[in-house]
């Protein structure tokens, strides 16, 4: 380089791995409970291929009752935090999430709870 007329050709090859989140178990069934009693279970959030720190957010469903009222009977807690961290060996640490349900009105639900990172993956 530096005024040397020689030409250099560099070829690069690589693979892009998009970050993703897996959930274990992938399906969740909470047991029926009496009104206004909480039922709860824990799931594992398994982040893969995150090269920088990110944070998990959760979109919980809103349920519409027969009379038109809307309730949010689900709640989540992350006892060890919501941060996706890259460990020294290049893997991402699993996160524990506690999902609970409580309703003072009779309701059943089949739907999705979304776990999303800061980039909306």
Closest CA to 115 of 51, 63, 77, 60: 60
Single pTM value for the model: 0.79
Q: Give alpha helix (H) positions in 3-60.
A: none
**Any idea where the domains of the chain sit in the sequence?**
20-116
Among 107, 112, 117, which residue's Cα sits nearest to residue 34? 107
Specify the pLDDT at position 16: 80
Would you place residue 2 in the very low, low, confident or very high pLDDT band (cuts 50, 70, 90)? Answer: low
| Residue with the larger pLDDT of the pair 5 and 39 | 39
Q: Rounded to an integer, what distance in angstroms lies between the CA atom of residue 101 and that of residue 39?
A: 5
- Of the candidates 80, 84, 78, 68, the one whose C-alpha atom is nearest the C-alpha of residue 99 is 78
In CATH, what number does 20-116 get?
2.60.40
Q: Is the pLDDT of residue 33 over 70?
A: yes
Mind listing the pLDDT tens digit for each residue in 44-96? 999 998 888 899 999 999 998 889 999 999 999 999 999 998 888 878 999 99
Residue 68: C-alpha distances to residues 62, 63, 65, 108, 110 (Å): 12, 9, 5, 15, 18
User: For residue 108, what pLDDT band results from cuts at 50, 70 and 90?
Assistant: confident
Rounded Cα distance between 35 and 81, Å, is 30
């Amino acid at each position: 380089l530096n005024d040397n007329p020689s030409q250099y050709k560099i070829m690069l090859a690589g693979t892009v791995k998009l970050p993703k989140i897996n959930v274990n178990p992938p399906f969740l069934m909470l047991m029926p409970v009496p009104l206004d009693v909480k039922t709860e279970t824990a799931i594992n959030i398994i982040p893969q291929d995150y090269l920088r720190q990110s944070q998990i957010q959760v979109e919980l469903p809103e349920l519409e009752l027969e009379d038109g009222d809307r309730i949010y009977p689900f709640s989540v807690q992350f006892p060890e935090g919501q941060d996706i961290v890259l460990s020294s060996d290049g893997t991402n640490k699993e996160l524990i999430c506690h999902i609970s349900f409580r309703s003072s009105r009779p309701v059943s639900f089949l739907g999705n709870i979304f776990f999303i990172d800061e980039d909306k993956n």
